[in-house]
């Protein structure tokens, strides 16, 4: 039904009209700004996609690959890719050791697909393949991480080959010098082996670190903008493209309703609908659009259209800053600018394993800004239940400006493979405040059991009658718990395959983890707490790396 009146307890509102300005929106696509493919909102379509981030854009990409004849309408409440994808930290990194093996493999396939697509199409999104450093500042947490990686090496050596554990060297607790390496792949060059020390990784004060070889930084908005522009450019391009892709920005979806169509109704893109199949109507301030299939790629905002998801996908506000590197004098005019060389996760505090969950990438020079996010513990209620990204939390902003220099060696010169220190204390790096160029917030969709929800919505959650044709109805692909970049693309493909059948013979490419599938049984288990819930009984969230434990 169309949403009217006050929100229910826990239900998300609509994306606000005045969001904070993200670094990634500093160079918006002229083709996409204020874009409406047709002046008027179409009254009908084969498929309506709500949301234009990475999930919605790639769902449209896969739909048009599978069925060029389809008429696809995409609704976006704000500008294209103005939600979480356009407001994240610029990472794409699979959780190789911090997830079950089949989920890690799924995330690796996502990463490989995206990397290949960027290379094949020469997508100008500043994709930079690198290694990911996970620095742990809690001894108990790092000990558990080592156990997890050891178990992975025994059971799944092909996955374990993608990671290395970096430990403090013998005697380092007394002298503060030396680092050790465990599980280094034999194929690493000697120079790379030397770099794999805590000092060489620029985290001399950490208890230990894990290095993953499959990681990337990128400009996420430009990736999605390329996909959307390509879809729009294909409109009318040949007989096989008889269908269309219609993007309607600044058109929020305010409600849903379903009704059985009259016998005379036929789908406009050549697909048939029967009197037994419901027609879904999406309501907007500009009118309605109806289709036999609707995909909600709405992540944190899903419960606005489906109130039954209020306790399943919880909006949670995160915050990111783009920081100028510290001003330093090079030893010689020919010395290169600061290049931290990796992407980073910075996890845990000495007295609390889950009190820190920060993340960092660096933009290419110039200006080589450090894009640093996290600090949710300084936000009121950790940002849980907040769906308004129109402001920043000042305590988080201060933390992000001043914290990075205390955990990461930001010296201009190449870091040493050895660290200095003494007296039994860990070596430290220079604490300094960095100047922000952008500070912004974004809304993540935290899933109750930590996994995305992908699939057809059953009637018990607000979907249509459960005895309809399996490929007709209301679908959801959302709830990434702050980990969407290495999950969303093939999750979107899985949703498309559910909608139109997987006749491509490439099901192995997707092989969606069963934990991601939206079923009534999974929802009931999550609500009973059979899984490790991301949302605990007090409504607060485990830190982003909580599933390591």
> If the chain, 549 residues long, is cut into consecutive pieces of 10 residues, what is the mean pLDDT of each piece?
67 97 98 98 97 98 96 98 98 93 96 98 97 94 94 95 86 36 44 71 95 96 98 79 90 92 46 56 97 97 97 97 87 76 92 84 92 95 95 97 93 59 50 92 96 96 74 92 96 96 59 96 89 41 44
Pairing of strands 128-136, 163-168: unpaired
- What's the CA gap between 231 and 247, in Å, rounded? 9
Helix (H) / strand (E) containing 65? helix 54-66
- What integer pLDDT is reported at residue 408 of this predicted model? 95
CA dist 520 → 104, 428, 497, 526, 534 (Å): 25, 50, 20, 10, 18
> Cβ contacts of residue 3 below 8 Å, gap of 6+?
254, 255, 304, 305
- What integer pLDDT is reported at residue 148 of this predicted model? 93
- What integer pLDDT is reported at residue 296 of this predicted model? 98
Angle between helices 101-121 and 488-500 (to 10 degrees): 90
- Partners of 248 in the beta sheet? 36, 75
Pairing of strands 208-217, 163-168: antiparallel
- What's the CA gap between 154 and 142, in Å, rounded? 19
What is the CATH architecture of 32-87+220-312+448-539?
3-Layer(bba) Sandwich (3.50)
- What integer pLDDT is reported at residue 415 of this predicted model? 59
pLDDT in tens, 14-44: 999 999 999 999 999 999 999 999 999 999 9
Residue 128: count of CB within 10 angstroms of its CB: 16
- What integer pLDDT is reported at residue 426 of this predicted model? 54
- Return the closest-CA partner of residue 377 out of 346, 340, 409, 405: 346
> Cβ contacts of residue 65 below 8 Å, gap of 6+?
none
List the CATH code of the domain at 129-217+315-444: 3.30.9
Pairing of strands 128-136, 91-92: unpaired
- What's the CA gap between 483 and 125, in Å, rounded? 19
- What integer pLDDT is reported at residue 352 of this predicted model? 78
Q: Where are the domains of the chain?
A: 32-87+220-312+448-539, 129-217+315-444
Q: Give the three-class secondary structure for 373.
A: strand
- What's the CA gap between 325 and 146, in Å, rounded? 32
- What's the CA gap between 465 and 469, in Å, rounded? 9
- What integer pLDDT is reported at residue 327 of this predicted model? 84
Query: 3-state SS string over 311-364?
Result: CCEEEEEEEEEEECCCCCCCCCCCCCCCCCCEEEEEEEECCEEEEEEEEEEECC
CA dist 76 → 50, 71, 97, 481 (Å): 6, 17, 35, 21
pLDDT in tens, 399-441: 999 999 999 999 886 555 444 433 344 555 667 899 999 999 9
Enter the pTM of the model: 0.89
Structure tokens at 106: 């799924």
């Amino acid at each position: 039904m169309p949403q009217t009146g006050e929100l229910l307890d826990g239900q998300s509102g609509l994306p606000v009209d005045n969001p904070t300005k993200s670094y990634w929106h500093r160079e918006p696509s002229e083709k996409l700004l204020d874009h409406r493919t047709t002046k008027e909102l179409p009254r009908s379509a084969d498929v309506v996609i709500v949301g234009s981030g990475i999930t919605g854009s790639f769902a449209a990409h896969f739909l048009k690959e599978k069925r060029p004849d389809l008429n696809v309408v995409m609704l976006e409440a704000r500008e294209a890719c103005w939600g979480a994808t356009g407001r994240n930290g610029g990472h794409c990194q699979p959780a190789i050791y911090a997830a079950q093996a089949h989920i890690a493999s799924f995330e690796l396939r996502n990463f490989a697909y995206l990397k290949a697509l960027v290379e094949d199409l020469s997508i100008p999104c500043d994709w930079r393949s690198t290694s990911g450093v996970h620095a742990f500042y809690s001894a108990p947490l790092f000990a558990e991480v080592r156990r997890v990686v050891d178990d992975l090496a025994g059971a799944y050596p092909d996955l374990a080959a993608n990671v290395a554990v970096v430990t403090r060297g013998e005697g380092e607790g007394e002298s503060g010098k030396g680092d050790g390496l465990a599980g280094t792949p034999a194929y690493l060059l000697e120079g790379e082996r030397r770099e794999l020390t805590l000092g060489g990784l620029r985290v001399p004060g950490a208890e230990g670190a894990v290095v993953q070889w499959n990681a990337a930084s990128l400009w996420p908005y430009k990736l999605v903008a390329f996909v959307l522009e390509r879809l729009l450019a294909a409109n009318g391009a040949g007989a096989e493209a008889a269908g269309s892709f219609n993007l309607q920005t600044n058109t929020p979806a305010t409600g849903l309703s379903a009704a059985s169509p009259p016998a005379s109704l036929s789908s406009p893109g050549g697909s048939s609908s029967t009197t037994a199949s419901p027609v879904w109507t999406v309501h907007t301030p500009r009118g309605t659009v109806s289709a036999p299939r609707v995909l909600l790629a709405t992540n944190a905002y899903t419960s606005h259209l489906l109130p039954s998801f209020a306790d399943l996908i919880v909006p949670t506000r995160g915050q990111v800053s783009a920081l100028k590197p510290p001003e330093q004098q090079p030893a010689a005019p020919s010395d290169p600018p600061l290049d931290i060389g990796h992407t980073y996760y910075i996890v845990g505090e000495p007295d609390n394993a889950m009190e820190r969950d920060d993340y960092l990438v660096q933009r290419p020079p110039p200006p080589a800004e450090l894009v640093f996010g996290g600090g949710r513990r300084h936000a009121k209620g950790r940002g849980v239940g907040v769906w308004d990204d129109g402001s920043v939390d000042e305590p988080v902003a201060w933390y992000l400006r001043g914290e990075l220099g205390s955990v990461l060696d930001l010296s201009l010169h190449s870091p040493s493979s050895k660290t200095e220190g003494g007296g039994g204390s860990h070596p430290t790096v220079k604490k300094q405040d960095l100047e922000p160029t952008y500070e912004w917030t974004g809304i993540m969709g935290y899933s109750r059991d930590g996994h995305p929800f992908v699939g057809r919505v059953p009637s018990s959650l607000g979907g249509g009658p459960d005895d309809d044709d399996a490929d007709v109805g209301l679908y959801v692909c959302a709830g990434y718990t702050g980990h969407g970049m290495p999950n969303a693309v093939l999750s979107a493909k899985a949703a498309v395959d559910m909608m139109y059948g997987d006749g491509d013979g490439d099901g192995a490419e997707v092989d969606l983890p069963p934990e991601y599938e939206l079923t009534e049984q999974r929802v009931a288990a999550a609500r009973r707490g059979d899984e490790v819930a991301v949302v605990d009984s007090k409504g607060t969230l485990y830190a982003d790396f909580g599933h390591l434990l």
